[in-house]
């Protein structure tokens, strides 16, 4: 019985950090982190600036190598992947940043089309999918606008649309509301919850404790590179 449960647990696990540490010259960014995230979860990672949230995200994407420990994505050790397979893994993950990282000389449509072209989607697929994803993030009216013609909240919604267009299994949003006011923050959280409701796993890193109440799901609290708390619900 126990082994059946273990197998089931392994099957549902998307991300597994096994005693992961990351030590930079002047900082311990991650300190012996063990963490499991199941497919379909919405996990808020909270902690003050410098507590290790971004480093945690970078580990999943294999942007950085751990000093110790192992990071698994669906039972694959991500740091053992060769270039081609790493590219494939990264395509299964959508990333959203504080500063949006949109292409300024492209319209909303073109920003998303660009991400689809990168995975060899046809013009027909692009023409049919882009309006849908913009509708999902409530941005249909901005389809032919450039980023600098949009508010911060709209730009972040566009960045989210771009992150989900190729149907990743996981969205990592690192301080996505860091440049936004309260109303726009609320909207971004609602959109991330909607995407999670459609089946995508979400990891949201933030220093803002007010956000974890808005999300109301699992909260992983970090301090000095350690996970000091892991609770099922914010409220
Ligand atoms: P957070 O995202 O929670 O603000 P980070 O993961 O960015 O935290 O940083 C954790 C710690 O690691 C901080 O002390 C930071 O200065 C340090 N750190 C992060 N990246 C680097 C790096 N590339 N080189 C040296 N130190 C780093
Ligand atoms: Mg950070």
Q: Whose CA is nearest to atom 1 of ligand 1?
A: 50
Work out which ligand 1 atom sits closest to the CA atom of 64. Answer: 23
pLDDT reported for residue 12: 84
CA distances from 223 to 20, 140, 182, 205, 228 (A): 15, 40, 25, 13, 6
Q: Whose CA is nearest to atom 25 of ligand 1?
A: 24
Confidence of residue 1 (pLDDT cuts 50, 70, 90): low
CA 47 to ligand 2 center in whole angstroms: 9
Dihedral angle sign, alpha carbons of residues 218, 61, 172, 8 = negative
CA 90 to ligand 1 center in whole angstroms: 21
Residue 184: pLDDT over 80: yes
CA 33 to ligand 1 center in whole angstroms: 15
pTM, 2 dp: 0.95
**DSSP character string of 122-159:** -HHHHHHHHHHHHHHTT-GGGTT--GGGS-HHHHHHHH
The residue-averaged pLDDT of 60-79 equals 97
Q: Whose CA is nearest to atom 14 of ligand 1?
A: 50
Q: What is the pLDDT of residues 93-137, one digit of tens each?
A: 999 999 999 999 999 999 999 999 999 999 999 999 999 999 999
Residues with CB under 5 A from ligand 2 (ion): 53-54
182: part of which helix (H) or strand (E)?
helix 182-197
CB-based pocket (< 6 A), ligand 1 = 24, 27, 29, 47, 49-55
User: Of 2-6, 93-97, 214-218, which gets the smallest average pLDDT?
Assistant: 2-6
Identify which of 20, 33, 52 to mutate to test ligand 1's pocket (most ligand atoms within 8 A of the CB).
52
Report whether 100 contacts 157 (CB < 8 A).
Answer: no
Per-chain mean pLDDT for the chain:
95
CA 226 to ligand 2 center in whole angstroms: 14
Among residues of the chain, what percentage have pLDDT more than 70?
Answer: 97
Radius of gyration (Cα) for the chain, nearest Å? 18
CA distances from 107 to 103, 135, 152, 155 (A): 8, 15, 15, 11
Residue 226: pLDDT over 80: yes
Q: Among 158, 167, 51, which Cα is nearest to 96's?
A: 158
pLDDT reported for residue 235: 52
CA 235 to ligand 1 center in whole angstroms: 29
**DSSP character string of 32-77:** EEEEEEETT-EEEEE--TTSSHHHHHHHHTTSS--SEEEEEETTEE
Q: What is the pLDDT of residues 130-183, one digit of tens each?
A: 999 999 999 999 999 999 999 999 999 999 999 999 999 999 999 999 999 999
The residue-averaged pLDDT of 17-28 equals 97
């Amino acid at each position: 019985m126990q082994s059946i449960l273990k197998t089931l647990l392994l099957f549902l696990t998307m991300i597994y950090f096994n005693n992961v540490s990351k030590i930079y010259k002047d900082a311990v960014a991650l300190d012996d982190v063990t963490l499991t995230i199941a497919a379909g979860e919405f996990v808020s990672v909270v902690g003050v600036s410098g507590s290790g949230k971004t480093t945690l995200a970078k580990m999943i994407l294999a942007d950085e190598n751990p000093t110790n420990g192992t990071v698994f994505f669906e039972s694959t050790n991500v740091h053992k992947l060769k270039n081609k397979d790493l590219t494939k893994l990264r395509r299964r993950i959508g990333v959203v940043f504080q500063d949006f990282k949109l292409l300024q000389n492209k319209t909303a449509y073109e920003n998303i089309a660009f991400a689809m072209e990168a995975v060899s989607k046809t013009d027909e697929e692009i023409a049919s999918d882009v309006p849908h994803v913009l509708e999902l993030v409530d941005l249909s009216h901005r389809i032919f606008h450039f980023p600098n013609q949009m508010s911060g909240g709209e730009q972040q919604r566009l960045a989210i649309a771009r992150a989900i267009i190729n149907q990743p299994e996981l969205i990592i949003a690192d301080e996505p509301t860091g440049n936004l006011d309260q109303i726009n923050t609320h909207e971004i959280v609602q959109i991330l919850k909607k995407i999670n409701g459609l089946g995508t796993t979400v990891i949201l890193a933030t220093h803002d404790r007010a956000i974890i109440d808005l999300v109301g799901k699992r909260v992983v609290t970090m301090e000095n590179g350690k996970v000091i708390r892991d609770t099922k619900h914010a409220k």
